[in-house]
Structure 1
Amino acid sequence: MAEEVVSYERRGRIAVVTMNRPEYRNAQNSAMTYALDDAFTRAVNDDEVGVIVLAGSGKHFSAGHDIGTPGRDVDQSFERRAVQWWDHVGASGGDNRFAREMEVYLGMCRRWRELPKPTIAMVQGACIAGGLMLAWVCDLIIASEDAFFADPVLRMGIPGVEYFAHPWVLGPRGAKEALFTGQRFDANRAYELGMLSKVVPRAELEERVFETAEQIATMPRFGLALAKKAVNQAEDLMGMRSGMDAAFGLHHLAHAHNAETSTDSLGGQDARSMREGGA
């Protein structure tokens, strides 16, 4: 596991998986994505682990996909376990983008949503775009009062991040408001929309997360796994998986349109322009 971008710790029955690029607000490059997959696999395979907590080091949970740090690695291959498509390196055009995003974004997130052990996202500060995807795959999200959320990728002409869970976690109108405006919404608004499990003072965040995790960890492991599967299947019966597939196609139509009509598949946007726009 790439220890420099993800750390792993056992605290009794709780595994703590922490994104560790605080200098870049835990922006997710592929190295981090594969390291997260390694860490989650380790937790699932450890019979002593009952609950997995996903955290971000520093002031922020995650600012989303890495679109501009020195560690951006879109042109690199990794030793892959969660193979959803062939390797994108060496492919061109839509094949390249589709292959990479099917693997490291949509595919990985779906894999993590189906982990048989309960997961809790511990969110502080920024949870933007790709950061939402990591929080949304978790079963519970506990956020501090200073947390804020946004999916601003419509500024790129792209209709939302790859793991398109928006209508299920925000409701249809909340999803449209978040997407159409691209603006931040705070933890209280996220709680009102049903996205968060709890909102707590920043100083109490870790304590409250572990309090909840320890309570869950006392429940029967197999019963927890079945309950999780039952709820996930109910979401899928409400159209979540097929809706996500449809949105992923629109996402890549937007990438292709940008590539033909602007300087790149991101519509000429970069990390700075996205921040200046309110992300």
Structure 2
Amino acid sequence: MHDDTEVVTYRVNDGIAVVTMNRPEYRNAQNSAMTYGLDSAFARAVEDDEVKVIVLAGNGKHFSAGHDIGTPDRDHHVHFENRAVLWWDHVGKRGGDRRYAREAEVYLGMCRRWREIPKPVIAMVQGACIAGGLMLTWVCDLIVASDDAFFSDPVVRMGIPGVEYFAHPWVLGPRLAKEILFTADRFSAQRAYDVGMVNRVVPRAELESQTMELAARMTTMPSFGLALSKKAVNQCEDQMGMRNGMDSVFGLHHFAHAHNAEVGRDSLGGMSIEAMAGRNDAS
């Protein structure tokens, strides 16, 4: 993970582990290799007693343009060891069985696993944070965004009711959640801050320094106290219905895939990367 050619890089400095998505040529679109690379990096940080705080970053102009739905390195056919969900692997399966098994593991299952990391995780976001990128920020405890960052979940263009880790009503509130889903519009870092989704909005040039300064403040706190505080807030959030809500919407998500496959040419409603980007293009 120290190799800059890897899809995920890892470094530790002064008790802070920086985990970086490293596919800048594809705007850090998440293929399975990246998902499992992130999982390995997070596990490494959890097991290292010297690491007090984790920072999740994206290399290049953009944090993440979401799930990989069409790059040359897309790897839906590749087997990776299942760790997040006790379910069979998707490789070799067909139809809804294949899609459900894969998305339950690499998307919903992994995000739920990462939400429970017993150390503070800060997302450091610049540029585009779209669809699957939102999922990655929402599992983090804090989000620091540059003033040029923007967010969107445009998957309703596929006829699908939001990404797999459906935290929208809890992190945005019901009305803004509906607005961003119904319109597929971008919303700015400032608007995300105004509704409480983002902790801080900073100048792009100061994004790394201010994020690391915030992380450094947390390294002075007792690790066990941080872990228990995080668990306390997460448990309260689940008591507000988030986990059960995600389960129900995951079913709707796959019903939409099945509908698309039945009435159209594929489970994505015939949408390409270019069509999905539309006026939200992350150039």
CA contact (8 A) 2:52 2:219 kept: yes
Residue of structure 2 equivalent to 1:244: 246
Q: How has the CA–CA distance of structure 1 residues 149 and 127 changed in structure 2, closer, same or farther, with 3 Å as cutoff?
A: same
AA of the residue aligned to 1:194: G
The change in CA–CA distance for 1:183 and 1:2 in structure 2 (over 3 A counts) is farther
* 1:46-57 alignment, distance < 5 Å: 46-57=48-59
Structure 2: distance between partners of 1:76 and 1:175: 34
> Is the CA contact 2:54–2:122 (under 8 Å) kept in the aligned structure 1?
yes
Partner of 1:227: 229
Q: C-alpha separation between the residues in 2 aligned to 1:228 and 1:66?
A: 30
CA RMSD of aligned residues (A): 1.1
Q: How does 1:15-54 map to 2 (within 5 A)?
A: 15-54=17-56
CA–CA distance in 2 between the matches of 1:25 and 1:40?
21
Tell me the equivalent position of 1:104.
106
Query: Which one of the candidate residues 202, 211, 221 is aligned to 2:204?
Result: 202
Q: What CA distance in whole angstroms lies between the structure 1 residues aligned with 2:87 and 2:57?
A: 28
Matches within 5 A, 1:257-268: 257-268=259-270
Q: Is residue 63 from structure 1 mapped to residue 65 from structure 2 by the alignment? A: yes
Task: Spell out structure 1 runs of 4+ moving beyond 3 A.
Answer: none
CA contact (8 A) 1:56 1:62 kept: yes
Contact kept in structure 2, 1:34 and 1:80, CA below 8 Å = no
Aligned counterparts of 1:226 and 1:5: Cα–Cα separation in 2? 32
Gapped regions of structure 2 (runs ≥ 5) = none
| Alpha-carbon distance in structure 2 between the residues aligned to 1:11 and 1:173 | 41
For 1:39-58, what per-residue CA distance to the aligned partner results, in whole angstroms no more than 9, with x for missing partners?
00000000000000000000
- Mark the CA change 1:254 to 1:2 in structure 2 (over 3 Å): closer, same or farther: farther
Cα contact 1:84–1:102 (8 A) shared by 2: no
Deviation at 1:93, TM superposition (A): 1.1
CA distance in 1, matches of 2:82, 2:185: 35
What secondary structure does 2:280 align onto?
A: coil
Work out whether 1:139 is the aligned partner of 2:146: no
* Letter of the structure 2 residue corresponding to residue 82 of structure 1: A
Alignment-derived partner of residue 184 in structure 1: 186
- Do the aligned residues in 2 keep the contact of 1:52 with 1:120 (CA within 8 Å)? yes
Deviation at 1:278, TM superposition (A): 2.6
Q: CA shift at 1:82, angstroms?
A: 2.7
C-alpha distance in structure 2 between counterparts of 1:174 and 1:11, whole Å: 38
Structure 2 partner of 1:127: 129
What is the identity percentage for the equivalent residue pairs of Structure 1 and Structure 2? 73
Contact 1:51 1:213 in 2 (8 A): yes
Alpha-carbon distance, 1:277 to partner: 4.4
Report the CA distance between 1:264 and its aligned residue.
0.5
Q: Which runs of 5 or more structure 1 residues have no equivalent in the other structure?
A: none
TM-score, L = length of structure 1: 0.98
Equivalent position of 1:274 in the other structure: 276
